[in-house]
Amino acid sequence: MAELKPEMSQAGIHRLHTTTVIDELGESREVSLTGERPLTIYLNTIEIVTLMTLGAQPELLTLGYIRNQGLVDKLEDIESIQVDWDVEAVAVTTRTPKDNIEQLTSRRTVTSGCGQGTMFGHVMDSLSELKLQCPRFSAESIYDVLKALTEYNEMYKQAGAVHGCALCDGTDILMFVEDVGRHNAVDAISGWMWLNGIEGHDKVFYTTGRLTSEMVIKVAQMQVPLLLSRSGVTEMGLKLAQQIGIGMVARAKGKHFLVYNGIEAFSQSETVS
């Protein structure tokens, strides 16, 4: 029996705007601005959270958020996801609502995510159950992924003020998302994976943002065992990666990177198995 998929609106909005500025020489020029809109998620009429987002893929963002927060167990439980920008809200309707949803959302941790991310307490409590195996990887394979990503980050190049995240299968970039917060970008990719039945166990996850505890948790929930960033690492992010078994490669730009976790799986010459 085919898996039921939710009925979803297609309410992505234009992400770039313009304004006039004066440069250091006193000359006037028109530049691009990154869009930013509030989007409040309602789950069966219960207000869950308000996210600040570009609004490019609000349905996937919502789907990934409720998945990563453990608010819905199965994709087929979701009947519809409907975004209405007139009221800056998205309504998620499920076929089998959880009885303890208010209890699940009663404890929130405000994370270090740009745009103020949140993580519900029961997600933090389940970390001991998350165990992954870092695959073998090499300097060559990291260089190849970074090279494949050079044509992306288009909005960053035009306007800045965004983070980019990508799901990679070798050098194939399966999905790339930019948003004002890295936690939004990773949630949108998670939603896309869930909707399309994409498994993460043989993939690499890339982000332009720092590798915090929140990023490690979200990637672990997607079952992706190797995390790559051009930015730095927090202490808790590293401890969680070590606990869960996620390979962590950071400060990755050009021909430079640092392996923080998964050192035993790293080789200078062997490709990713």
Could you tell me which of 229, 273, 268 has the C-alpha nearest to residue 249?
A: 229
Q: State whether 164 and 224 are in the same domain.
A: yes
The pLDDT of residue 108 is 52
Question: How, if at all, do strands 7-8 and 46-53 pair?
Answer: unpaired
Range list of β-strands (E), the chain: 7-8, 16-22, 28-34, 37-43, 46-53, 78-84, 89-94, 108-110, 118-120, 137-138, 163-169, 172-179, 204-207, 226-229, 247-253, 256-261, 266-267
Q: Is residue 130 part of a domain?
A: no
- The torsion angle over the Cα atoms of residues 214, 92, 195 and 186, rounded to 10 degrees, is -20
The pLDDT of residue 59 is 98
224 vs 192: CA distance, rounded Å = 14
Which residues constitute the domain of residue 104? 7-122
Where is the domain boundary, 95, 122, 149? 122
The pLDDT of residue 134 is 95
CATH code assigned at 88: 3.10.20.10
- The answer to whether residues 20 and 4 touch, using CB atoms and an 8 Å cutoff, is no
* Burial (0-12, 13-18, 19+ Cβ within 10 Å), 21: exposed
Q: Is residue 272 part of a domain?
A: no
Q: State whether 141 and 248 are in the same domain.
A: yes
Grouped pLDDT means (10 residues each) for the chain, 273 residues: 82 87 91 87 93 94 93 93 98 85 57 49 64 94 93 60 86 92 92 96 94 92 95 95 96 94 85 43
CATH code assigned at 255: 3.40.140.10
Q: Is residue 17 part of a domain?
A: yes
The pLDDT of residue 115 is 43
Report how many domains make up the chain.
2
The pLDDT of residue 36 is 87
Q: State whether 25 and 105 are in the same domain.
A: yes
